[in-house]
Amino acid sequence: MLVDDSRTMRTLQRSVLDELGHTEIEEACNGQDALSKAGAFGPELVLVDWDMPTMDGLEFIRTFRRTNRATPVIMVTTEADKSRVIEAIQAGVNNYVVKPFTAQTLGRRIEETLARCRAA
């Protein structure tokens, strides 16, 4: 599941996921939209932006984690400050990617996150 208010960012992330063989992808434009879709879609991975209208990524993660502790979540954001990274990890993210990023970096983070979660 891709959660970002930027259609361009979702398109880039979708392209990386497609290259990795993940083709069933749901998109959401903010945290509230993602929560409304997550139950029915049952994502195996969530990529979420921090700064979005209506419900930001951190609030989405906190709410999502109340009912779903197992699905890997990667925060993909411009928020690079160490305190923000720590805050996201405490909220329940499994990995963190700072924008701008290359497709290779995002792909590597997705693969390592999924591998870690499968092994756990």
Residue 7 is part of a domain; what is its CATH number? 3.40.50.2300
Q: Which of 107, 64, 79, 73 is nearest to 93 (CA)?
A: 73
Cα distance between residue 29 and residue 103, in whole Å: 21
Q: What is the token pair recorded at 72?
A: 């890997």
Look at residue 54 and tell me whether its pLDDT is greater than 90.
yes
Q: What is the token pair recorded at 39?
A: 């139950």
pLDDT digits (tens, 9 = 90+) for 67-82: 999 999 999 999 999 9
Predicted local confidence at residue 91, as pLDDT: 96
At 34, the pLDDT band (50, 70, 90 cuts) reads very high
* pTM flag (> 0.75): yes
E strand residue ranges, 1-120: 2-3, 27-28, 46-48, 73-77, 95-98
Structural domains counted in the chain: 1
> Which residues face 40 on adjacent strands?
none
Predicted local confidence at residue 120, as pLDDT: 81
Average pLDDT over residues 32-60: 96
Average pLDDT over residues 17-21: 92
Look at residue 106 and tell me whether its pLDDT is greater than 90.
yes
Look at residue 18 and tell me whether its pLDDT is greater than 90.
yes
Residue range of the domain that includes 78 = 2-119
Look at residue 87 and tell me whether its pLDDT is greater than 90.
yes
